[in-house]
Amino acid sequence: MTYRYEIRTIVVEDEEQNLNSICNKIVSLDNSFKIVGKAVNGQEALQKIEEIRPQVLFTDISMPVMGGMELIRRVRQSCPSIIIVIISGYSDFAYAQGAIKYGVFNYLLKPLESDALLETLVDIRQNLSVAGHSKERYIAYSDNYQLLADHEDRFLVMAVCLGNIIYDAQDEDVVRFYTKEIGGLPWNQILLEVCGEKEWFVTDEHVINQKIIGIKFSADEQGEALKWAKQLMMVIRIKTSLPVNLCVTKGIVKQEELWDDAKRLRNTLRRRLVIGEEHIFFPESVPEKSEVTEIVKVKLNAYIKNYYNSRNLENFINEIRMIFKFLKSSQVTQDGIARICVYVCRLLEFSEQEYGRENIEEVQGEMMRSISISISKEELFEQLLTKIESLNCEGDEEDKETRLIDYIDEKFLSIDSMEQVAEEFGYNYAYLSRLFKKKSGMSMNKYITKKKIEFAKTLIQDKPDMRLSEISDLCGYEDSRYFSRVFKAETGMSPSEYKEQISEGN
Confidence of residue 106 (pLDDT cuts 50, 70, 90): confident
Q: Give pTM, 2 decimals.
A: 0.57
pLDDT tens readout for residues 207-224: 889 999 999 887 777 668
Return the higher-pLDDT residue of 218 and 225. Answer: 225
Report pLDDT for 253: 85
Name the burial class of residue 59, with classes exposed (0-12), middle (13-18) and buried (19+) by CB atoms within 10 angstroms of its CB: buried
Measured distance CA(448)–CA(412) in Å, rounded: 6
- Helix, strand, coil proportions of the chain in percent (round to 5)? 55, 10, 30
Average pLDDT over residues 449-477: 89
Average pLDDT over residues 463-483: 86
Going by C-beta distance under 8 Å and a sequence separation of 6 or more, which residues neighbour residue 447?
408, 436, 440
139-281 has CATH 1.10.10 classification: no
Confidence of residue 1 (pLDDT cuts 50, 70, 90): very low
Report pLDDT for 4: 47
How is 52-113 classified by DSSP, letter by letter?
H--SEEEE-SS-SSS-HHHHHHHHHHH-TT-EEEEEES---HHHHHHHHHTT-SEEEESSPP
Record: fold of 7-133: Rossmann fold (3.40.50)
Report pLDDT for 145: 61
Domain boundaries, the chain: 7-133, 139-281, 291-389, 397-441, 446-505
Residue 107 has pLDDT above 80, yes or no: yes
Highest mean pLDDT among 89-98, 438-447, 481-490 belongs to: 481-490
Residue 355 has pLDDT above 70, yes or no: no
What percentage of residues in the chain have a pLDDT greater than 70? 80
Q: Which CATH superfamily is domain 446-505 in?
A: Homeodomain-like (1.10.10.60)
Question: CA-based angle 307:325:312, to the nearest 5?
Answer: 15
Mean of per-residue pLDDT scores for the chain: 81
Average pLDDT over residues 425-444: 72
Report pLDDT for 147: 55
pLDDT tens readout for residues 292-321: 777 777 777 776 666 656 666 667 777 788
Return the higher-pLDDT residue of 338 and 343. Answer: 338
Report pLDDT for 5: 62
Measured distance CA(60)–CA(86) in Å, rounded: 6
